[in-house]
Structure 1
Amino acid sequence: MAGVANGTYIFCLPGSSGACQTGWSIIKEQLDSRNRPCNLAQLIPRLTES
Structure 2
Amino acid sequence: MGYQSRTFIESGRIFEALVGNGPVVVPKSRADPWLAWSDRPVEEQIGEGRPTLG
What TM-score, normalized to structure 2? Answer: 0.19
Higher share in helix: 1
* Greater C-alpha Rg: 1
Task: Give the TM-score normalised by the residue count of structure 1.
Answer: 0.19
User: Structure with the greater relative contact order (CA < 8 A, sep ≥ 6): 1 or 2?
Assistant: 1
More strand by share: 1
